[in-house]
Amino acid sequence: MEKRTDVIIEPLNAYHAEHTWLLRNNPALWQYTECDTPLPATLQSEQQAYLFYAQQKNNRRYAVKFNGRCIGVVSLKQIGYGTAAIGYYILDDSMHGKGICTEAVRQLMRIGFEEFNLDLLYILVNSDNIPSFSVAQKLGFYSVGLSFTKSNVHRFEMTRTVWRNKKNELK
């Protein structure tokens, strides 16, 4: 997988809300997961949510920027005891299927393993969300079965050791 230069992630902040709040109101985006900010979104509610997220210690959210515009969010959630869950969504549905989310998660994996020194990253994917399955599989996550806590949800994992062995393939 060749690294894309048109996709970057950076810590999510209130100024990203200018690009995301209208996109967030598309109900089709939330058919497989819960929205993590109040709906319907307003510019003010989105800014307040992003300011709140920036203060959290065990969750880190990053803006996904494509050609300089924020179009989504990737996150490390429930960071602790050497593990974290990865969350991701691309809010601009015209950008779906272009490999943008895969690239953003690839960058997030590097942050999780190298900067946070995590031992395990995992992704919970709704069984009906084929594009999300594809992201996890393209990046080399392996399925460990159904979630114990959520119905119809698969769990994918990647250890730091496996990532170290695969990271050159993911560049």
**Residue that the structure tokens 């114990």 belong to:** 148
Q: CA 55 to CA 87: how far, in whole Å? A: 18
Q: What is the pLDDT of residues 63-97, one digit of tens each?
A: 999 999 999 999 999 999 999 999 999 999 999 99
Closest-CA residue to 126 (of 53, 54, 15, 34) = 34
Q: CA 123 to CA 27: how far, in whole Å? A: 22
Closest-CA residue to 89 (of 12, 171, 44, 30) = 30
Single-letter code of the amino acid located at 18: E
DSSP 3: P
Closest-CA residue to 86 (of 131, 37, 50, 120) = 120
Q: CA 22 to CA 157: how far, in whole Å? A: 32
- Tell me whether the omega of the peptide bond preceding residue 11 falls within 30 degrees of 0, making it cis: no
Question: Are the beta carbons of 16 and 63 closer than 8 angstroms?
Answer: yes
Q: What is the pLDDT of residues 141-171, one digit of tens each?
A: 999 998 777 778 999 999 999 999 987 777 5
Domains and CATH numbers, the chain: 7-166 (3.40.630.30)
Q: What is the pLDDT of residues 22-44, one digit of tens each?
A: 898 988 888 888 777 778 899 99
Helices in 11-168 by DSSP H: which ranges?
17-24, 43-55, 100-110, 130-138, 160-166
